[in-house]
Amino acid sequence: MVFLFLFLFLLVPSVSIALPLKSAELFVTSLKKGNFCSSDFKELFKTDLKEPALLLYLDSCSDLKGVLEPENLYGKLELASLLSKEGKGKEARELYLKVFSLTNDLDEDVLAANRGSVSYLFKPEVLRRKVWLAAKNGNTDTALFYLSYLREDPYYTYLLAYTLLKEGKRAPARALFSVSIPDERYFFLMLLSPDLAEKFDFYRKLMGSSAGAPFKRAATVYILDRLFNSDLGLFRRALPYARSFSDIYTYYLARYYALTGNCKGLSSLGGKSETAKALYSVCSGKRWRSSKLDFYTLLLSPPEKFSFSKRRVFSRLKLKDRGLSYLYRHGFCSVISFIERPSPQNALAQYLCSNYKEGIKLAAPFKGELHKYPYLLPVLYPKPSVFGDDLISLAIARQESLFDGRALSRSGAIGLMQIMPRTGRHIARKLKVKGFKVHHLYRPEVNYRFGSYYIHSLINQFRLFPLAAAAYNCGPSRVERILRRYGDAKTPEELILFTDVYLPFQETRDYVKRTYVNLYYYSNLYGKGTEWRIFSHR
């Protein structure tokens, strides 16, 4: 009987587990009274309130019996400190090492807590990771500091080259990569080489080396994109190396067949790739059939009507999870933000708390169950108030940042609509904004105003939303060159060819498809339901 109960319990999906009202009430009561050290409070460690409960407990209590390790790095640091005070040095060092290895943000705290005994932290494998993290995030001084402890390490030259590359010093970086040891150097030498034939040679060496699969996969997409648009002869020579990544191989072979008008070849690939299937439909003129609501369906077989009524969607934006509802009604959105378990109700709670990015991420696993959870549609496609009724900018901002106003990309793009500093200064002049500073782009209202101006000016220039979206992502001059070379996209079929065959970057091709799908949902949820229909005869 016990076995049967356990079996049935395991069959119950985790999304059905709710936050008990009793747990939420206990947390709030303890917070008001400042009482976090009771055995009752420890019971919260077994619930979705584990993380905030642990942080409060570790900050206030000394009894560590039965205390779990927090996921939060600050919590790990606090627990390590308490373990150290209890004389549990080994356990404390394990946690300090974990924190030190995972981030550079808490280095001062970790080093201060280990004064006079930091040698266990400065292991070569740990320092390599810290150099990589610092250089990747643009913290050159930090990277060089840790590199100074790796002068005799075999990875020293490679990591110094990477640090210089991230600092924008391409020539010295290339020179150092060329004399470094790890096989991953071929990836960077390929990127840095100005010559296509040489790029291909470094790519071949990388694919025949012991370098990691992520490097080989990224290199394959990069080299096939470059050669497809510059040298089809070399492209044909490079393509066989992509066979180890079947999805990439099929995708680029389909692009090649479409470019050369090989409908028979596309037909042979139709069952392996939606792109190949769509390109075959374009090439042959055969009717598009698909159960997916994606870029291709919206263009080739647009749905007659939206599958959900607005009334059904928006009438259900109420929390049924009693614990989450209690926290939300009492204004504890900061506590809700700690709850990370994916579930429809948690996603809705994050949305109601204006934690749009987290709401989208937590709702994403349930996108295939929208008929069961229709209230997840506005969670997946939220409408922050700063955007008003600007559906175009909403479609762009969702893809750019998931509505994270503090977002900063590796290339330096800022805020909700990921505006580059140079673009921001240009728009400020156009809008005659006096006293503009780049950091103003972190203000949601400024970022939206600038991004909205830019995307709408691109729509005025290119007419169709997908063309404007491509220009927003890769620059209007590239889109202009493509249109001059291949002609305007006047039909859905021509737009698919523009997107999948002529656009030079995988990132931009994906961007166009996703933002157009975004526009479809925003149009149906908040607009007239027609704004996404960019071809009137469809």
By CB neighbour count within 10 A (0-12 exposed, 13-18 middle, 19+ buried), where does 515 fall? buried
HEC sequence for 480-497: HHHHHHHCCCCCHHHHHH
**Cα 50 from Cα 459, distance rounded (Å):** 48
Give dist(CA 511, CA 400) in Å, integer. Answer: 9
Task: Give Cα 160 distance to the centre of its chain.
Answer: 27
The reported pLDDT for the residue numbered 364 is: 97
pLDDT class of 16 with cuts at 50, 70, 90: very low
Q: Give dist(CA 513, CA 499) in Å, integer.
A: 8
Q: How confident is the model at residue 538 (pLDDT cuts 50, 70, 90)?
A: very low
| C-alpha pair distances (Å), 12 with each of 6, 8, 9, 321, 378 | 10, 7, 5, 17, 27
Q: What is the pLDDT of residues 123-144, one digit of tens each?
A: 999 999 999 999 999 899 999 9
Is the pLDDT reported for residue 145 higher than 50? yes
Region 284-295 average pLDDT: 92
Separation between Cα atoms, residue 467 and residue 472, nearest integer Å: 9
pLDDT for 291: 86
* Burial label, 135 (beta-carbon count in 10 A; 0-12, 13-18, 19+): buried
pLDDT for 15: 45
Q: Above 60 in pLDDT, residue 6?
A: no
Average pLDDT score, the chain:
94
At 419 the three-state DSSP class reads: strand
Confidence of residue 66 (pLDDT cuts 50, 70, 90): confident
CB 136 within 8 A of CB 166: yes
pLDDT in tens, 462-479: 999 999 999 999 999 999
Look at residue 5 and tell me whether its pLDDT is greater than 80.
no
- 309 pLDDT more than 90: yes
- pLDDT confidence of residue 272: 84
Give the pLDDT band of residue 435 (cuts 50, 70, 90).
Answer: very high
Up-side HSE of residue 90: CA atoms within 13 Å toward CB?
A: 0
Q: Looking at the whole model, is its pTM more than 0.85?
A: yes
Is the Cβ–Cβ distance between 258 and 282 less than 8 Å?
yes
Q: Which element (helix H / strand E) includes 156?
A: helix 156-166
419 forms bridges with which residues in the sheet?
414
**Above 70 in pLDDT, residue 484?**
yes
Does 19 score more than 60 pLDDT?
yes
User: How much is the average pLDDT of 362-383?
Assistant: 96
Q: What is the mean pLDDT of residues 282-305?
A: 93
Whether the predicted pLDDT of 1 surpasses 70: no
Give the three-class secondary structure for 402.
coil
Percent of the chain surpassing pLDDT 90:
91
Confidence of residue 499 (pLDDT cuts 50, 70, 90): very high
2-8 mean pLDDT = 33
> Which residue ranges make up each domain of the chain?
310-380, 386-526
Report how far apart, in Å, the C-alpha atoms of 96 and of each of 107, 113, 123, 368 are.
10, 9, 13, 41
**Average pLDDT for 362-374:** 96
Query: For position 114, what pLDDT does the model report?
Result: 94
CATH of 386-526, one of 3.40.50.300, 3.40.50.970, 1.10.3720.10, 1.10.530.10: 1.10.530.10
Mean local confidence (pLDDT), 276-299: 94
CB-based burial of residue 219 (10 Å sphere; 0-12 exposed, 13-18 middle, 19+ buried)?
buried
